[in-house]
Amino acid sequence: MFNIFKKKEKTINQPKARPMTVLCIPGNWKSHEEILGAIIESNDGEFIFAGMILLNLKTHVGFELEVCERDDRMKEAFRYAGMVNRVSEEFLEEIDEHHQVLYLSYETGDLESAKAIAEAGQALLKAGGLGIKVETAGKAFTKEHWMDLVEDFEESNLYEMFVLDSIRDAEGNLYSCGMHNLGLKDCMICGEELQDAVETISVFGYYQLVDKPEIRTNQTFAVAEDAPVFVIAEVEEQPNKDDELFENPYGMWKLERKKG
């Protein structure tokens, strides 16, 4: 996956913490001071930016916010990450004109905190952000698309915002990435046609998010009564193993078609 986020150095023997969700938001701000003023003015004082913290004054939740200079790779990063959402060339040209980039980070791993960073991302879009790329899923959105998902919020929207469910590995298996942003396991499916595999992964992801079932190995799953039945197992080694942004600390389910 195409990623330009600067990863932080890991501390030796550091225990695994809750996953960190990272949003990349380019904009045309000319200075740090302009960003400060825009955040306050465009959000009716609900958010303030001080030091490296974006603070939601209503919820008292703070997010890490890093300001970086223009990145010449940003257009291509958004092009690659925006393929699923079919972002336009016009939008990519706007991204290419950016002057500065904001990286918003927050410990997530549950639906409430994922919604919190989604709303903080919206606040930065109101303040002049051009679009959002979810660094911890590899998925990009136009400003309008992200704001619609936040303003017409339903819990199921978090799947669309934070999960990419059509990635193929070297063996031709299809898998999702980003469920760790929601505190859930990703999913891999083996030996199925592309569109059928994408549909099954998507339905299984929404099933985890909306129904909140207790899933165990050797249970079965099907998207419909007349659809193929899959046996649920656990992936022993994830495709994104040891990747700070993409590895899912909660694990990954594997769906294999039931024989017989």
Domain ranges across the chain: 20-158, 164-257
Looking at domain 20-158, its CATH architecture is: 2-Layer Sandwich (3.30)
Strand arrangement of the beta sheet that strand 131-134 belongs to = 47-50, 53-56, 61-69, 100-107, 20-27, 131-134, 139-142
**How confident is the model at residue 16, as a pLDDT?**
54
Sheet (strand 174-177) strand order = 164-168, 174-177, 186-189, 252-257, 230-234, 220-221
| pLDDT tens-digit map of 49-99 | 999 999 999 999 999 999 999 999 999 999 999 999 999 999 999 999 999
Q: Count Cβ atoms below 10 Å from residue 107 Cβ, excluding itself.
A: 14
Distance from C-alpha of 252 to C-alpha of 246, rounded to nearest angstrom = 12
pLDDT at 191 (0 to 100): 86
**If pLDDT is split at 50, 70 and 90, which confidence band does 13 have?**
very low
pLDDT confidence tier of residue 6, bands split at 50, 70 and 90? very low
Whether 1 shows a pLDDT value over 80: the answer reads: no
Helix and strand element counts for the chain (H, E): 7, 13
User: Residue 255 — pLDDT band, cuts 50, 70, 90?
Assistant: very high
Element spanning 139, H or E: strand 139-142
**With 50 as the cut, is the pLDDT of residue 15 above it?**
no
Percent of the chain with pLDDT over 90: 86
Mean pLDDT of 164-169: 91
How would residue 8 be classed by pLDDT, with cut points 50, 70 and 90? very low
Contacts of 167 (CB under 8 A, 6+ apart): 1, 138, 174, 175, 176, 177, 239
The kind and range of the H/E element at 26 are strand 20-27
Average pLDDT, the chain: 92
Name the pTM for this structure: 0.91
pLDDT tens-digit readout, 187-231: 999 889 999 999 999 999 999 999 999 999 999 999 998 899 999
Q: What is the mean pLDDT of residues 163-176?
A: 91
